Chains A and B, each alone.
Chain A
């Protein structure tokens, strides 16, 4: 039971990363690799700030802002310097590795004996593992609420339109470059926020903790979509969180089957491939089914 609670907690804490990637991957409709760099950068920022005596809340906000700046750089490289977005993201991701080492001064930093968001009285009063559930839940509710509000504003609609039909957006007077920069920036802010949360939950930060993040984030998005199908924008954001929880439960199951924690990246990729391939495979099988029936009728 506690394993399941723990998985749900992980799912909620990581949901903000899926939601962050949703802004670029689904709404703006391009792959942003920066996230593999901003996740550990958020972690490094928060952990280092806390180690310097800054309050965990401020440290977490700081992580969000640092992520926004990294995303801003990617956005500028993409829109102003006209570097293809995939490469722009990889450049910032690669650079961030060095920056993380600068921030922490070493490859990893423990939070042992230091305060975190989870060490407040409220979280301490909860039963084991329920603290991360509560923290993840609070953060994802706040983030989703703000995003839902934003997407229903004039600016939010212009943002959605940019990803949906750039030509049209421009011909309606929407500054599409600004929309992309804003999207990549906020997206990476959220991913860094996720990094800060995960680091505080784990009790340490490591420069290598970003590897495979994009797969994890994509998994939450795709699982939500495969399970729920056609949804409104608001429902889709919520589906990402549910997808994130389901992803953690599936991983738990896989570990129960006897795989190692070190196999997780392999398993994550396989899971994602299955979920992404599912719609195509399904329609193929459907086709076969119909063909068979057609033959029988003859």
Chain B
């Protein structure tokens, strides 16, 4: 049996401890993630999806439980250290890129994700061809704008860049938090296609939060529903393949 690449064990995150408003926003989460898993995550507003990502990313420390990567306990590891194997794309295109730096400069920083930053020249020129190639594949003129300040890009271009930045240096685990939600439907679909292609080609391990039932069904090999801080639904394999929107809606109606 293969070992999971990433594990959450009995994760509890409590807020407002010791007050009447005390609440477990993550309530004993157990999750084994295997290499190559592409997990879509559904859940209503406030279900704890972002909190789950922040726990995996290290931005939040759980009150109890363990986070394990490759068999190693990383529960107390800092955000910065975790970037050696973890990358994220946020919902807001503004969060993922540096606006006053050019597209190429952003990519260069992303290439060095999780590595030491020293006083060696950055060597941007030698990378330009490579950047040109990978941005050209995005089919949204990003390759024409390598020297443009990222703040001057369209939302779609900027979010595509965020995604490229998260994957340019292969992450051990990739977290996508509604990364297409801020885009118009057409751009959103384009980015979803790019996302799927990249994940399949690079055999990435990925968790993707989405609000679209269709996307959650269409993409990935596993689907999780988070409800009131608990994993209330978890299907994969053949079962996931045969999942229909009707079945999912019935399930949602049952838990409401």
A175 and B95 contact, CB distance less than 8 A: no
B86 to chain A: closest residue by CB: A171
A160 to B101, CA, bound (A): 8
B96 within 8 A of A: yes
In terms of DSSP, what is the predominant structure of the interface of chain A? helix
B117 and A154 contact, CB distance less than 8 A: yes
Q: How far is the CB of A186 from chain B (nearest CB, A)?
A: 13
Provide the residues of chain A in CB contact with B81, threshold 8 Å: 173
For chain A, the bracket of interface size reads 20 to 34
A138 to B109, CA, bound (A): 33
A153 to chain B: closest residue by CB: B119
A168 and B95 contact, CB distance less than 8 A: yes
A22 to B225, CA, bound (A): 49
Per-residue contact bits, chain A 136-167, to B (CB 8 Å; 1 contact, 0 not)? 00000000000001101111111011001101
Which 9 A-B residue pairings sit nearest by Cβ, starting from the closest?
A: A173-B83, A164-B98, A173-B114, A158-B117, A165-B98, A154-B117, A155-B117, A172-B113, A153-B119
A62 to B227, CA, bound (A): 61
A155 to B90, CA, bound (A): 24
Q: How far is the CB of A87 from chain B (nearest CB, A)?
A: 26
Per-residue contact bits, chain B 86-114, to A (CB 8 Å; 1 contact, 0 not)? 01101000111111110001001110111
A174 within 8 A of B: yes
Q: A160-B100, A170-B79, A172-B109 are in contact. List 4 more A-B contacts (CB 8 A).
A: A155-B119, A165-B98, A168-B98, A173-B84
A172 to B90, CA, bound (A): 13
Q: Pick the contact of B95 from A156, A157, A165 — CB < 8 Å?
A: A165
Provide the residues of chain A in CB contact with B134, threshold 8 Å: none
- Of the A-B pairs whose beta carbons lie under 8 Å apart in the complex, a sample of 27, sorted by A's number, is A149-B121, A152-B121, A154-B117, A154-B119, A154-B120, A155-B117, A155-B118, A156-B122, A157-B108, A158-B109, A160-B98, A160-B100, A161-B101, A164-B98, A164-B100, A164-B101, A168-B95, A168-B97, A169-B109, A170-B79, A171-B87, A171-B88, A172-B112, A172-B165, A173-B112, A174-B109, A175-B80
B115 within 8 A of A: yes
B99 and A154 contact, CB distance less than 8 A: no
A157 to B112, CA, bound (A): 11
Q: How far is the CB of B182 from chain A (nearest CB, A)?
A: 15
Provide the residues of chain B in CB contact with A160, threshold 8 Å: 98, 100-101
A175 to B79, CA, bound (A): 9
- Name the residue among A149, A155, A172, A175 with the largest chain B CB count within 10 angstroms: A172
Per-residue contact bits, chain A 107-151, to B (CB 8 Å; 1 contact, 0 not)? 000000000000000000000000000000000000000000110
Q: How far is the CB of A116 from chain B (nearest CB, A)?
A: 32
Q: List residues of chain A with CB under 8 Å of any chain B CB.
A: 149-150, 152-158, 160-161, 164-165, 167-175
Provide the residues of chain A in CB contact with B115, threshold 8 Å: 173
Provide the residues of chain A in CB contact with B110, threshold 8 Å: 172
Q: How far is the CB of B74 from chain A (nearest CB, A)?
A: 14
Per-residue contact bits, chain B 144-182, to A (CB 8 Å; 1 contact, 0 not)? 000000000000000000000100000000000000000
CB-CB under 8 A for A153 and B120, given A161-B101, A168-B97: yes
Provide the residues of chain A in CB contact with B121, threshold 8 Å: 149, 152-153
B87 and A174 contact, CB distance less than 8 A: no
A150 to chain B: closest residue by CB: B119
A153 to B99, CA, bound (A): 19
B83 and A171 contact, CB distance less than 8 A: yes
A165 to chain B: closest residue by CB: B98
- Name the residue among A150, A169, A173, A174 with the largest chain B CB count within 10 angstroms: A173
A172 to B89, CA, bound (A): 11
Q: Pick the contact of B98 from A154, A161, A175 — CB < 8 Å?
A: A161
Provide the residues of chain A in CB contact with B88, threshold 8 Å: 171
CB-CB under 8 A for A171 and B117, given A161-B101, A164-B99, A164-B100: no
A66 to B122, CA, bound (A): 30
Provide the residues of chain B in CB contact with A164, threshold 8 Å: 98-101
A174 and B117 contact, CB distance less than 8 A: yes
Considering only residues 227-245 of chain B, those with a C-beta below 8 Å from chain A are: none
A173 to B105, CA, bound (A): 15
A276 to B119, CA, bound (A): 34
A176 to chain B: closest residue by CB: B80
A152 to B123, CA, bound (A): 8
Q: How far is the CB of A147 from chain B (nearest CB, A)?
A: 12
- Name the residue among A156, A169, A174 with the largest chain B CB count within 10 angstroms: A174
Q: How far is the CB of A277 from chain B (nearest CB, A)?
A: 22
